[in-house]
Structure 1
Amino acid sequence: MGMSTATATRWVERWEHQQQRYAVDREERFEVITDLVEHVTHGRPTPLVLDLGSGPGCLAARIADRLPAAEVLAIDADPLLLELGSAHYGAALRYVEAVIGEPGWLDALALDRPVDAAVSTTALHYLGTETLRRVYRELADRLRPGGILINGDHISPDSTRVCELAVDIGRRHAERNATSSREDWDSWWTSAAADPELAPLLAGRAAEGRPRCEGNDLTLSGHVALLREAGFEHVGAVWQVGPSHVLAAVR
């Protein structure tokens, strides 16, 4: 028997609340990314959109809601998060389990046409610089001319002093707009482990382990350089609050 919709909804809603602790002005960032996808796919009958490191698909679902004719893939390495999203959002999304950056990871997506937009939020900073270089190049090869890659993430300004200022601005902004939730990443997973309906998927997650987190310390200009090297012609930040950026790269 599959996971109940009620269970999935409860845990996805809790996921949304705890994620607000880690992304400055998360809802506004989601709106900006969705606006960009809508702009670039305007007039295309069935846009193909990838959400990289989607978790349960919170951003992907917002894009699918805005663009009901689009095919939106939610791509993540975690089977529990994908199952939660599938049970909560249903057929609006196509869920794919894949480790971004691993050799052949794009083959798991079974893409049948060029991609119109690839988006990611608070996920690609887990990749090492060389892995990210390869992923940017691979995505550039799969995007159609005029297609877009959008990365919403913690990306530091180039100046150390400006970075310090941005972090402080982000902290102040978060404090002024704080939610009532006290749950964080660790407490969410601890609580999920106590739910018997999630136990089978959590057991599988523990056995398989999580992808290795390499991490990178790329600044804004570092990301821009990698994207230009990958073949993106137009690259730049289109939104920023503190250290949180939305970086757009057009093929």
Structure 2
Amino acid sequence: MSATTAARWVERWECQQQRYAVDREERCTVIADVVEHAGRGRPGQLVLDLGSGPGALAARLAARLPGAEVLAVDADPLLLELGRAHYGDEDLRFVRALIGAPDWVDALGLDRPVDAAVSTTALHYLGRDALCAVYRDLAGVLRPGGVFVNGDHIGPDSPAIADLALDLARRHAERTMGLLHEDWESWWSGAAEDPELAPFLARSGGPGHPPCADADLPVSGHVALLREAGFAHVGTVWQHGNSRVLVAVR
């Protein structure tokens, strides 16, 4: 795949993602801030970006953390190849794994405890049981004091406040013209029509992203599952509408 083609499609990917995440740029910056803070004074960190897509957040983390090993983990071969062609693989390692599958951790080829695991707008597709298992898996690979940082659609516990958060997200999207960006289906339809991308789509018989179970857990549900999994401290460090950055410390 040419670098020019990869750059075009990565840019389109980032634009369509803005349709689904309130203030996505700030959210990614906050996630990187947390990882940098948690790893102060620790050279050679190992960081996972779960559901990385082409790897924008993983690339940001690699730039923030010189000498770190950053794994961009996704199930889709096309998205991973776009990331390799656009960002390169000198500071990043792109790994294909379906998060939540029985062998997903083994597919990462980890050789030491993980310092930080992050995700943005990716894990909401998991049902409650699968999410519980993934949280346990993460607690098992993170070092003591390591962090899991999840930026996603995680609503408040109160239904009335949750409705308000959704409305605030909608108003923000209208003000910033976020809904003018192409949607998920449009991006994949366009990719299927590009002959340079077709071989990578064919590897999985179509997009490799998993079906969305959409657990729709409120924040208390996530906190409870993370504590049950073995995380000592869990809390929100950033929120805008229904977009939240939740941090769990192993």
The answer for the alignment partner of 2:181 in structure 1 is: 182
Q: AA paired with 2:50?
A: L
CA contact (8 A) 1:64 1:70 kept: yes
The answer for the alignment partner of 2:13 in structure 1 is: 15
Please give the secondary structure, in 1, of the residue aligned with 2:211.
coil
| Cα pair distance change 1:179/1:216, threshold 3 Å | closer
The answer for the alignment partner of 1:62 in structure 2 is: 60
The answer for the alignment partner of 2:210 in structure 1 is: 211
Q: What does the per-residue CA deviation read over 1:112-131, in whole Å, with 9 as the maximum and x for residues that have no partner?
A: 11000000011111111011
Query: How many angstroms does 1:199 deviate by?
Result: 1.0
Q: Return the alpha-carbon distance in structure 1 between the equivalents of residues 43 and 18 of structure 2.
A: 33
The answer for the alignment partner of 2:36 in structure 1 is: 38
Query: How many angstroms does 1:93 deviate by?
Result: 0.9
CA contact (8 A) 2:76 2:208 kept: no
The answer for the alignment partner of 2:144 in structure 1 is: 145
Q: What does the per-residue CA deviation read over 1:82-124, in whole Å, with 9 as the maximum and x for residues that have no partner?
A: 0000110002210000000111210011101100000001111
| Cα pair distance change 1:208/1:189, threshold 3 Å | closer
Q: What does the per-residue CA deviation read over 1:130-164, in whole Å, with 9 as the maximum and x for residues that have no partner?
A: 11101101100110111000110001100000001
Is 1:247 aligned to residue 246 of structure 2?
A: yes
Is 1:237 aligned to residue 236 of structure 2?
A: yes
Q: AA paired with 1:135?
A: V
Query: How many angstroms does 1:190 deviate by?
Result: 1.2
| Cα pair distance change 1:193/1:66, threshold 3 Å | same
Counterpart of 2:46 (choices 28, 38, 48) is 48
Q: Return the alpha-carbon distance in structure 1 between the equivalents of residues 158 and 60 of structure 2.
A: 34
CA contact (8 A) 1:154 1:244 kept: yes
Please give the secondary structure, in 2, of the residue aligned with 1:11.
helix
Query: How many angstroms does 1:204 deviate by?
Result: 2.1
CA contact (8 A) 1:60 1:93 kept: yes
Q: What does the per-residue CA deviation read over 1:167-204, in whole Å, with 9 as the maximum and x for residues that have no partner?
A: 11111122222259532111111111111101111122
Q: Return the alpha-carbon distance in structure 2 between the equivalents of residues 112 and 200 of structure 1.
A: 32
Q: AA paired with 2:152?
A: D
| Cα pair distance change 1:162/1:62, threshold 3 Å | same
Q: AA paired with 1:4?
A: S
Q: What does the per-residue CA deviation read over 1:178-234, in whole Å, with 9 as the maximum and x for residues that have no partner?
A: 259532111111111111101111122326864333220210000000000001011
Q: Return the alpha-carbon distance in structure 1 between the equivalents of residues 118 and 200 of structure 2.
A: 26
Q: Return the alpha-carbon distance in structure 2 between the equivalents of residues 130 and 161 of structure 1.
A: 26
Q: AA paired with 1:71?
A: E
TM normalised by structure 2 equals 0.96
CA contact (8 A) 2:75 2:208 kept: no
Identity of aligned residues (%): 69
The answer for the alignment partner of 1:225 in structure 2 is: 224
CA contact (8 A) 1:18 1:181 kept: no
Equivalent pairs counted in the alignment come to 249
| Cα pair distance change 1:64/1:241, threshold 3 Å | same
1:59-98 mapped onto 2 (5 Å cutoff)? 59-91=57-89, 92-98=91-97
Q: Return the alpha-carbon distance in structure 1 between the equivalents of residues 208 and 27 of structure 2.
A: 30
Structure 2 unaligned runs (5+)? none
CA contact (8 A) 1:57 1:85 kept: yes
Q: Return the alpha-carbon distance in structure 2 between the equivalents of residues 116 and 125 of structure 1.
A: 23
TM normalised by structure 1 equals 0.96
The answer for the alignment partner of 1:107 in structure 2 is: 106
Please give the secondary structure, in 1, of the residue aligned with 2:42.
coil
